Amino acid sequence: MNRNRLILIFGYFLLNLVFGTGCWDSRELDELAIISGIGVDKEGDKFNLSFQIINPTGLKGGEGGGNQGSGGGGTETFVVAQSTGRTIFDAVENVRNQIERIPFFSHNEVIVLGRQLAEEGIYPGVDFFLRSPQPRPTQWVLIGSEKAGDILRPKAEMEDTSARALKLLVDFGRQSWVPAINLEEVNAAMTQKRGAYLIPIVRVQGDKGKLFLDGSAAVMKRDKMVGEVNPGESRGLKWMKGEIRNAVVVSELPNQQGLVSTRIFLNRGSIKVNLTPEGIPRVNVYVYVEGEIEDMSGKFNLTSTPGMDLVKKQVALAIKKEIQSAFQKARSLNADFINIGRILYQNHPQVWEDMEHKWDEIFPEIRAHVTVGVSIWRVGEVSKPAISE
């Protein structure tokens, strides 16, 4: 009896081993093409997909830093394969015609969308990645300044793959300029009927092909690109959301006393939408930052409270300018990437119901009142500049 039971249990595990790990779904590591970055382009009515595939034999591993990759004779650390298809999945299947392994998306780091696609609507380009269980919803989404395929080609100098480098650039940049957005957030933002959102733009610079990610970003309405913001404007948005973790604010001191740069390491922000008695929405933005002075060019004497107050005031002014510029851009593009509509809906659902259909007319009229509070705790090791009078 006992032995019978053992045989039964053993048989069940055996069945699971055979079927559960899958005659149908088993993928061994050496059959997979691990994709580290994807570029989606649109050419005419076809999609052009670029896959950046990790080449395991080209990776250096932990061999004492022996760098063969850049030696010229060594193998590449990644290869880029391209394929076209009428849909994304069509293209994914077509790439099997040229690479001998099964594309594996779980370790993908970034999706780069070509500019052409962004202008025509990104949803057809990202739907596959949302639908398939393999790609991560937390991978970054970027927009390429030109063709997405070209972004994935240049070699990274310090990382194994340029997709990895791109991911690290975003990870760092999102602390200040870059309005980083991942796949799940893109999907969430696309559901907003009247809202807009930003996707960072990545470009390739120089003849050697260096990836470059400043804060400039594409303004998207639903799934179409309607304009572009510069780094200051996208950081203006990030101040309001309280997303800044490590940013430099360069502010001018009055009377040509020079420049002072402040590192901001803490940021809180809130956007309140009130209604005037006439029923017009009015935006109040409160931003609070904390930072320290890192560098000052000039003779300004900091050893007094009024001096510090002046610096604080100038920092607040600089931040305020960025925030107002973000509002200015949003108004001129008529794209509500600050999501005032959503805040209005959350707090005054009845008012929003009346306004929703004419939001495009109301939004450019909205004025914002910005309040910035600044605390500066440290001034570094210098209290009185040597050349000050």
Partner 1 sequence: MKLEKGRIGLKGTVLIMIGYIYGSTAILSPGVGVGQDAWVAQTIGLGLALIVVWVNTLLLARFPGQTFIEINERVFGPYAGKFISLLFLWYIFHLGSIVLIDHLDFVRLMIIPLTPAEVVVFLGILPCIYAAYKGLEVIVRTGQVLVVFTLLYFGLITLFQVQSYDFANFKPFLVTPFPKLAWAGLTAASFPYLETVVFLMILPFLNQQNKVRVAVYLGLFFGGLVVIWSIMRLILVLGDTAVNYVYPSYYAVRIINIAELLNRFEILAAMNYIMIGFLKVTVLLYAAGLGWAQLCKCQDYRPLLLPLGALMALVSLNNFEHVVGNFEFTTQVYSIYALPFSAGLPFLVLVGAWVRGLPGKVKNK
Question: What does the binding site for partner 1 look like in residue numbers (CB under 8 A)?
Answer: 8, 12, 15-16, 19-20, 22-25, 133, 136-138, 182, 184, 187-188, 191, 343, 345-347, 349
Least distance CB 20 / partner 1 (angstroms): 6
- Residues 293 and 380: beta-carbon distance below 8 Å: yes
Identify which of 367, 192, 385, 176 has the alpha carbon closest to the alpha carbon of residue 297.
385
Least distance CB 100 / partner 1 (angstroms): 19
Token pair 């440290």 in the structure block, residue:
378
Least distance CB 171 / partner 1 (angstroms): 8
SS3 content of the chain, % helix, strand, coil (to 5): 35, 30, 35
Burial class for 334, CB neighbours closer than 10 Å (0-12, 13-18, 19+) = middle
Return d(Cα 362, Cα 281) in angstroms, integer. 9
What letter would DSSP give residue 44?
A: T
Which C-beta is closer to partner 1: that of 157 or that of 171?
A: 171
Q: Specify the 3-state DSSP secondary structure of 208.
A: coil
Least distance CB 84 / partner 1 (angstroms): 25
- Residues 35 and 103: beta-carbon distance below 8 Å: yes
Which C-beta is closer to partner 1: that of 140 or that of 300?
A: 140
Which C-beta is closer to partner 1: that of 321 or that of 348?
A: 348
Which C-beta is closer to partner 1: that of 193 or that of 378?
A: 193
Least distance CB 138 / partner 1 (angstroms): 5
Which C-beta is closer to partner 1: that of 163 or that of 376?
A: 163
122: Cβ–Cβ under 8 A, 6 or more apart, which residues? 113, 186, 220, 223, 224, 225
Element (H, E) at 314: helix 305-333
Identify which of 231, 228, 239, 204 has the alpha carbon closest to the alpha carbon of residue 320.
239
Q: In Å, what is the CA distance from 317 to each residue of 24, 277, 282, 284, 314?
A: 63, 30, 21, 16, 5
Least distance CB 241 / partner 1 (angstroms): 11
Which C-beta is closer to partner 1: that of 244 or that of 249?
A: 244
Token pair 């010229």 in the structure block, residue:
72
Which C-beta is closer to partner 1: that of 191 or that of 383?
A: 191
Which C-beta is closer to partner 1: that of 23 or that of 387?
A: 23
The number of C-alpha atoms within 13 Å of 338 and in the hemisphere containing its C-beta is: 33
The CA dihedral of 23, 53, 47, 231, to the nearest 10 degrees, is 130
Least distance CB 191 / partner 1 (angstroms): 5
Least distance CB 170 / partner 1 (angstroms): 12
